[in-house]
Amino acid sequence: MPEALRQSRYHMKRCFAKYIEKGKRIMKLPHLMSEMETVIDDKVERNQVLEGVLGYILCSTQEAVVIPPFVVFAIRPNPGYWEFVKVSSEDLSVESITVRDYLKFKETLYDEKWSNDENTLEVDFRAIDFSTPHLTLSSSIGNGLNFVSKFTSSKLAGRLENAQPLVDYLLSLNHEGENLILNENLNTASKLQTALIVTEVYLSALPKDMPYQNFELRFKEWGFEKGWGDTAERTKETMKLLSEVLQAPDPLNLERFFSRLPIIFNVVIFSPHGYFGQADVLGLPDTGGQVVYILDQVQALEEELLLRIKQQGLTVKPQILVVTRLIPEAKGTKCNQELEPINGTKYSNILRVPFRTEKGILRRWVSRFDIYPYLELFAQDASAKVLDIMEGKPDLIIGNYSDGNLVASLMASKLGITQATIAHALEKTKYEDSDIKWKELDPKYHFSCQFLADTISMNATDFVIASTYQEIAGSKDRPGQYESHTAFTLPGLCRVVSGINVFDPKFNIAAPGADQSVYFPYTEKQKRLTSFHPAIEELLYSKEDNSEHIGFLADRKKPIIFSMARLDTVKNITGLVEWYGKNKRLRNLVNLAVVGGFFDPSKSKDREEIAEIKKMHTLIEKYQLRGQIRWIAAQTDRNRNGELYRCIADTRGAFVQPALYEAFGLTVIEAMNCGLPTFATNQGGPAEIIVDGISGFHIDPNNGDEASNKIADFFEKSKTDATYWDRFSKAGLQRIYECYTWKIYANKVLNMGSTYTFWRQLNKEQKQAKQRYIQMFFNLQYRNLVKNVPIPSDEAEQPVPKP
């Protein structure tokens, strides 16, 4: 940096003078750039400066804090890597500063007294993380399982005795108290190694398909218990993997060996908020992809568990419980039903446990932002229920989103169970400066509770399941959702100098899929659900407004561009309507159909939804869209939705996902599975799902004109070249089959479950130390904050005895 500033001192002086001109403030990269442009107005000179090191530094800058005469930069040269430098605008001197000092600079803009107080609370998870090995390459972030396998094999390597922790772990495996894999006869690595050599010879002489039961008793005497395989062949293979590991541990064999071990049978999945149900809930506030994801996930996990258990030669019935909130006022859904079997599974259920306060059961739905006061009691009640239904502890607890992850952390730490977290979408990055401005936003969003809950569960969990790389560590230009918790500050509350480290090997990517029995290509004529066609015809083209649709499509020869989402601000459906309204060329080429929310704002209890509904009406009027737009209310029947995507493909239309930010974007893969060419936001997960210009298109939600012109170009080209549309339809499908299926997902997640269960054993002391720190943070900080979230009193609550 000093070098860079010296290179063009004249321009730099002027530039920095400009930056400090307006006094104290936070500047984002676009501001820094545009103010620089006003100072260096000659394009050639500007390019020279931008092409130099300074340009490179500025481009890596995420934000700068201006406190005259200083400008302090937060620079992110690579995903996960941050540097902080303080530049004096007077003499251009440069000083590298710590993250702590950077946060302090930022805080002084909001609460100087608190910032300068020596006793301000600092949270530093790094301080108790010193013994955990970490990745170092940005490109390896999200590949934790692989790293853990490598690191574990190096720990087990060398002398045979080094493998003793593995032997001890195998000795501990059991199901409901019955030993699996090994018994005490083989309690050392050397005894185990010798026994494996003998058994290999023995097994080689048996018919490959001989059932395990035929040699079970003999094996038991030798020290081997059930769980190695269902046949002689499978048993031999698993034992061979272990022999290889004992001989010379290598990550590949270790990973394969762990994928075969009988470790996971019972799984609990927490998803408290929203309306969690199998019918009539999608599109309701806070009820979207998370529900779809979990239901599909359960099917895929159960299928994979059944296969693995069979191959292990066991007869155990796996159990998966999705634990959510029971809502007495369920609005005609089944959300007031305690136990509900999950369709398409044999042994999986939804378990609903009500939210309780000292006044009794909470009867009404509450927004996910207001949910924090209920979680601690919910975790206790839910744990008791789960232990009762499962007749014992689960083997893996998976949390979903901030609320589910916190509950999962509380239960997992109490019972000593392996934990995974899934975020779907963390709120922090959705709102600019949401940490530093928390006081302003707290009455509406309670971010103080949410960010601390997230920080707690990220640290408590054994592994994190992310859908994409960007979710963890973002892209070259934009920090990831998890990464934004690396360091942040809530002035007046606490300064988090080290929240989470994205180089922690707990981070893994396992992308979800879409149910391919529901979302299949429009070309599969014999499978098409033609019985829905009359209803879909009515939904899209009838002329009258009713409670399900408003607006109409006058020219039905035009292709339809289609979008479907909850009516949240961030989903930006209103943005798409506005882009369409403004772009005459696009309006001439295509019609617009959008599914989302409902039409009467007074029917909604969700703040954002109400605002978006009103905005939709305004835009339709402002741009005179009647005749070209069809606004359809939230749709709850996924089978009909699948057919709707295909009917849009029949018009040779496209799907548009215009979100200001999308964590993953299930609708994107649903549309692609149906063969519908897709345009999706470049902000978030869809940027990874779609390869721009190959399997679909990226659009910039912050540049509506460019986005709508890109869509118009596509339809213009498709008009003149009939193969153009087909090309994108097929390439989208190909991308899905290669990367986004539930089978790939379930396999990965169960492998994680097995490996991280051993990993937490290996790092027991470190884990315990961290848990103590987390408990303190939870008790002293989080629990107090929760008291600030109002509990609705306007609704009738029903008193209940404590369970």
Q: How far apart are CA 803 and CA 800, in angstroms?
A: 9
Q: Using CB distances below 5 to 8 A depending on partner kind, what does residue 368 bind out of ligand UDP, ligand LCN, none?
A: none
Q: How far apart are CA 119 and CA 108, in angstroms?
A: 15
Question: Which of the ranges 304-312, 351-359, 464-472, 564-572 carries the binding residues for ligand UDP, by CB under 6 A?
Answer: 564-572
Kindly report the CA angle at 186 between 184 and 191, in degrees rounded to 5? 150
DSSP designation for 791:
P
Q: Are 679 and 656 in contact (CB under 8 A)?
A: yes
DSSP designation for 398:
E
In whole angstroms, what separates CA 139 from the centre of its chain? 19
- For position 564 contacting ligand UDP by CB under 6 A, the verdict is yes
Question: Which of the ranges 378-386, 414-422, 479-487, 664-672 carries the binding residues for ligand UDP, by CB under 6 A?
Answer: 664-672
Looking at the Cβ atoms of 424 and 587, the one nearer to ligand LCN is 424
Q: Are 788 and 372 in contact (CB under 8 A)?
A: no
Looking at the Cβ atoms of 290 and 755, the one nearer to ligand LCN is 290
- For position 285 contacting ligand LCN by CB under 6 A, the verdict is no
Q: Among all chains, which residue has been given the structure tokens 């258990």?
A: 309
Q: Give the x-and-dash track for 285-324 against ligand UDP (CB under 6 A).
A: ---xxx-x--------------------------------
Among the listed residues 224, 228, 293, 715, the single contact to ligand LCN using CB under 6 A: 293
Looking at the Cβ atoms of 5 and 632, the one nearer to ligand UDP is 632
Q: Which residues within the stretch 149-178 sit at the binding site for ligand LCN (CB under 6 A)?
A: none
**Could you check whether the bond before residue 505 is cis, i.e. omega within 30 degrees of 0?**
no
Would you tell me the crossing angle of helices 666-673 and 638-650 to the nearest 10 degrees?
A: 60
Question: Which of the ranges 8-16, 204-212, 238-246, 663-671 carries the binding residues for ligand LCN, by CB under 6 A?
Answer: 663-671
- For position 672 contacting ligand UDP by CB under 6 A, the verdict is no
Q: How far apart are CA 489 and CA 492, in angstroms?
A: 9
Q: Give the x-and-dash track for 489-508 against ligand UDP (CB under 6 A).
A: --------------------
Which residues pair with residue 564 across a beta bridge?
A: 595
Among the listed residues 628, 641, 673, 729, the single contact to ligand UDP using CB under 6 A: 641
Among the listed residues 72, 371, 436, 565, the single contact to ligand UDP using CB under 6 A: 565
- For position 283 contacting ligand UDP by CB under 6 A, the verdict is yes
Measuring CA to CA, how many Å separate 409 from each of 390, 665, 769? 19, 26, 15
The string of DSSP codes covering 515-538 is -TTTS--TT-GGG--GGGHHHHHH
Structure tokens given for 153? 């094999």
Q: Give the x-and-dash track for 463-492 against ligand LCN (CB under 6 A).
A: ----x-------------------------
Q: Using CB distances below 5 to 8 A depending on partner kind, what does residue 282 bind out of ligand LCN, ligand UDP, none?
A: ligand UDP
- For position 666 contacting ligand LCN by CB under 6 A, the verdict is yes
- For position 426 contacting ligand UDP by CB under 6 A, the verdict is no
Among the listed residues 254, 264, 282, 577, the single contact to ligand UDP using CB under 6 A: 282
Question: Which of the ranges 77-85, 178-186, 366-374, 633-641 carries the binding residues for ligand UDP, by CB under 6 A?
Answer: 633-641
Q: Are 497 and 124 in contact (CB under 8 A)?
A: yes
Question: Which of the ranges 20-28, 284-292, 324-332, 578-586 carries the binding residues for ligand UDP, by CB under 6 A?
Answer: 284-292
Order across the sheet with 25-28: list the strands: 25-28, 61-67, 70-78, 81-88, 94-97
Q: Using CB distances below 5 to 8 A depending on partner kind, what does residue 638 bind out of ligand LCN, ligand UDP, none?
A: ligand UDP
DSSP designation for 781:
I
Q: Using CB distances below 5 to 8 A depending on partner kind, what does residue 311 bind out of ligand LCN, ligand UDP, none?
A: none
Is residue 581 packed enough to be buried (19+ CB in 10 Å), middle (13-18) or exposed (0-12)?
Answer: buried
Q: Among all chains, which residue has been given the structure tokens 């519908």?
A: 676
Q: Are 519 and 645 in contact (CB under 8 A)?
A: yes
Q: For residue 135, which of 96, 74, 79 has the smallest C-alpha distance? A: 79
- For position 667 contacting ligand UDP by CB under 6 A, the verdict is yes
Structure tokens given for 246? 């004992």
Among the listed residues 398, 663, 674, 712, the single contact to ligand LCN using CB under 6 A: 663
Looking at the Cβ atoms of 63 and 568, the one nearer to ligand UDP is 568
Q: How far apart are CA 608 and CA 613, in angstroms?
A: 9
- Among the residues of 659-781, which ranges form H helices? 666-673, 686-689, 704-720, 722-739, 742-762, 764-777
- For position 625 contacting ligand LCN by CB under 6 A, the verdict is no
Looking at the Cβ atoms of 509 and 590, the one nearer to ligand LCN is 509
Kindly report the CA angle at 302 between 301 and 303, in degrees rounded to 5? 90
Among the listed residues 323, 670, 697, 758, the single contact to ligand UDP using CB under 6 A: 670
Q: Give the x-and-dash track for 421-460 against ligand LCN (CB under 6 A).
A: ---xx-----------------------------------
H/E segment holding residue 743: helix 742-762
Amino acid type, 716? E
Would you tell me the crossing angle of helices 742-762 and 144-156 to the nearest 10 degrees?
A: 40
Count of residues touching ligand LCN (by CB under 6 A): 12
Residue nearest to ligand UDP (CB): 288
- For position 735 contacting ligand LCN by CB under 6 A, the verdict is no
Among the listed residues 580, 664, 714, 728, the single contact to ligand UDP using CB under 6 A: 664
Looking at the Cβ atoms of 84 and 451, the one nearer to ligand LCN is 451
Nearest distance in Å: CB 615, ligand UDP: 17
Question: Which of the ranges 110-118, 283-291, 548-556, 729-737 carries the binding residues for ligand UDP, by CB under 6 A?
Answer: 283-291
Nearest distance in Å: CB 799, ligand LCN: 35
Amino acid type, 386? V
- For position 290 contacting ligand LCN by CB under 6 A, the verdict is yes
Structure tokens given for 226? 């059930």
Looking at the Cβ atoms of 263 and 564, the one nearer to ligand UDP is 564
Structure tokens given for 52? 């130099």
- Among the residues of 416-465, which ranges form H helices? 438-445, 447-460
Looking at the Cβ atoms of 87 and 595, the one nearer to ligand UDP is 595
CA dihedral angle for residue 207, residue 208, residue 212, residue 214, rounded to 10 degrees = -10
Nearest distance in Å: CB 217, ligand LCN: 48
Q: Which residues within the stretch 245-274 sit at the binding site for ligand UDP (CB under 6 A)?
A: none
Measure the N-to-C terminal CA separation of the chain; round to a whole number of Å.
63
Nearest distance in Å: CB 517, ligand UDP: 14
Among the listed residues 289, 559, 575, 653, the single contact to ligand LCN using CB under 6 A: 289
Count of residues touching ligand UDP (by CB under 6 A): 20
What residues have CB less than 8 Å from 297, skipping those under 6 apart? 269, 512, 742, 745, 746, 749
Is residue 526 packed enough to be buried (19+ CB in 10 Å), middle (13-18) or exposed (0-12)?
Answer: exposed
Q: How far apart are CA 652 and CA 668, in angstroms?
A: 17
Among the listed residues 566, 587, 646, 760, the single contact to ligand UDP using CB under 6 A: 566
Q: Using CB distances below 5 to 8 A depending on partner kind, what does residue 566 bind out of ligand UDP, ligand LCN, none?
A: ligand UDP
Nearest distance in Å: CB 635, ligand UDP: 4
- For position 404 contacting ligand LCN by CB under 6 A, the verdict is no
Phi–psi pair at 81, nearest 5 degrees: -100, 130
Looking at the Cβ atoms of 292 and 353, the one nearer to ligand UDP is 292
H/E segment holding residue 397: strand 396-400
Q: For residue 71, which of 14, 27, 109 has the smallest C-alpha distance? A: 27
Binding site for ligand UDP (CB under 6 A): 282-283, 288-290, 292, 564-566, 595-596, 634-635, 638, 641, 664-667, 670
Binding site for ligand LCN (CB under 6 A): 289-290, 293, 424-425, 467, 662-666, 685
